[in-house]
Amino acid sequence: MGALLQKHGITEQDYLHWEAANERKHEYIDGDCYAMAGAGEKHNRITGNLFFQLRLATRGTSCTVFASDMKCRLEQGRFY
């Protein structure tokens, strides 16, 4: 019978400290970190157009739209 694989991920706090000091951005998924890809011109044009339309749609509401570079915390810090 094979040995059980133990997961040795990093904590939420360790991730946040490491990410703040790192030039590249990473996703944090339940203790594991994954490098995020950079964006090209086409990607930036598409996200710019989407941001503009979403911003228009949310005017006068309590909703806020961000184009990029905002860290979101989900499920008590298991995902960023």
pLDDT of residue 37: 81
pLDDT of residue 2: 58
CA distances from 58 to 10, 50, 73 (A): 37, 12, 22
Spans of the chain, pLDDT less than 70: 1-8
According to DSSP, the β-strands at 32-35 and 26-29 are antiparallel
Find the DSSP H helices in the chain: 12-21, 41-58
pLDDT of residue 55: 95
Listed residue (40, 44, 42, 62) closest to 52, CA to CA? 44
